[in-house]
Structure 1
Amino acid sequence: MWTKENRARYDRSKLRYPSDLTDAEWGFVGPLIPPARRGGGKRRVNMREVINGLMYVLSTGCQWRAIPKDFPPKSTVYGYFDLWTYDGTLERIHHVLYVMCREAEGREASPTAAVIDSQSVKSAEKGGAISIPMAMTRARRSKARSDIFLSTL
């Protein structure tokens, strides 16, 4: 509910971009970022700015090359995005935040119920698109294309 307390809590007008993390949000996300690898050089990039750049791309839908210049270079932001996707860091961050939100609402960490609509049940009974052998689909489609092509000559 939008009370005066909640409006102040969710106000993002004082941030550089609405997608930037607040100090409280960074307090949750920062510890979940893995440390720099051993044996390499010291990490010279500000990880909060990398996350802010990533959040900017995700919230605006802009292209990687259109990241504003006040974020780290696009290659750096994308490099961390690619690495964290590969090693599971983004999934771990999502899971930890998901559990924290559920527990803050007084719920169990993992849901215990699921909602299934009648349409899902119908498609599962028929087998859905997965049950159709792909080889048959391809053969039918290519035969149809060749018949159409020959009939137009």
Structure 2
Amino acid sequence: MRQKRYSSDLTDSQWEQIKSYFATGRRRKFHLRYHVLDAILYIVKTGTQWRMLPGGFAPWQTAYYYFRRWREEGRIRCILSITCRSARRQAGRHGEPSALIVDCQSVPSARTGGISSFDAFKKVKGRKRHIAVDMQGLLWGLVVHAAGDHETQWALQLLAPVASRLSRVETVFADQAYRGLEETIDRELDWELQVVESDDKPGFSVDPKRWIVERTYGWFGGWRRLDREYERRTDSSETMVRFAMLRIVLNRLD
């Protein structure tokens, strides 16, 4: 166990929730919780570079090895799905949602290369985080793509994998950018797409249902690695988001 602890570290009760998904018979020099998982969460929370991990963690090469391995396995995605179900049940709801809200967030890219383009509407050069959340704001679908791509180009690629995992979803709420996809969503997924109209009154207004997904983006704002797109690969970006969301969900279960 490390001597110095950070606010991004997992608590004992949070580790109990997920440790069975990391159990193996191998003996390791570094503890998966204290030296690897906490190291990755530290990076996502503080935005530091891999090579600048504090000395109490495993070497950055080891932490990055597990990050890359879990990314390729899809392990964090599966654990997040399980913990989201647990969080919903703890709140007195069914484990699977019956409605989702979709939206995009344009994020500027750092000088790391990879997929990137200019979002003319938001005036941002970088990528879009395209997410689907339930009424609790919990993440069920995520895809990262170039900021210049319109939402309608990626809506089905976002929702189709979700449809394969969730059987109760009947309705998807979205803003006007998704208008025109109603028949496609109904035909391909047998879901109803409801476009939420914005209030035309001047000044700030809260859009029904859509404020929930905006709140989720607000949660991401507390994780500095998500402030910009630092990853060369889009699947690395998605994994960083899932790590942040996993920690948020575990806070609910703690």
Partner of 2:179: 121
How far apart are the structure 2 equivalents of 1:99 and 1:82? 25
Asked if the contact 1:36–1:43 (Cα under 8 Å) also holds between the matched residues in 2, the reply is no
Taking the TM superposition and a 5 Å limit, the aligned residue runs for 1:1-150 are: 16-36=5-25, 42-49=27-34, 50-113=36-99, 114-121=172-179, 124=181
- Cα gap change, 1:86 to 1:36, in 2 (>3 Å): farther
Post-superposition CA distance 1:18-47 (Å, at most 9, x none): 10011111111211114256xxxx322201
Counterpart Cα distance in 1 of 2:67 and 2:23: 13
- Inter-partner Cα distance in structure 2 for 1:88 and 1:22: 23
| Residues 19 and 56 in structure 1, CA contact (< 8 A), matched pair in contact too | yes
- Considering fraction of residues, name the structure with more strand: 2
Give the TM-score normalised by the residue count of structure 1. Answer: 0.63
Residues 47, 121 of structure 1: alpha-carbon distance in 2 compared, 3 angstrom cutoff: same
RMSD between aligned alpha carbons?
2.0
Aligned to 2:107: none
Q: Which runs of 5+ in 2 are unaligned?
A: 100-171, 183-254
Q: What SS does the aligned partner of 2:179 have?
A: helix
Once residues 107 and 59 of structure 1 are traced to their aligned partners in structure 2, the CA distance between those partners, rounded to angstroms, is 29
CA distance in 2, matches of 1:26, 1:46: 12
Q: 1:128: which partner in 2?
A: none
Identical aligned residues as a percent: 33
Alignment size in residue pairs: 107
Cα displacement string for residues 88-121 of structure 1 (whole angstroms, at most 9, x for unaligned residues): 1111111111111111111111211121222221
Residue-by-residue CA offset, 1:71-98 (whole Å, 9 max, x unaligned): 1110111100100111111111111111
Relative to its length, the structure with more helix (as a share) is 1
Residues 33 and 89, structure 1, Cα contact 8 Å, conserved in 2: no
Q: Which residue in 2 is equivalent to 1:149?
A: none
Larger relative contact order (Cα-Cα within 8 Å, sequence gap ≥ 6)? 2
**TM-score calculated relative to the size of structure 2:** 0.39
Larger Rg: 1
Q: Deviations over 1:115-138 (max 9, x none)?
A: 12222215x48xxxxxxxxxxxxx
Question: Equivalents in 1 of 2:46, 2:18: separation in Å?
Answer: 20
Shift >3 Å, 4+ stretches: none
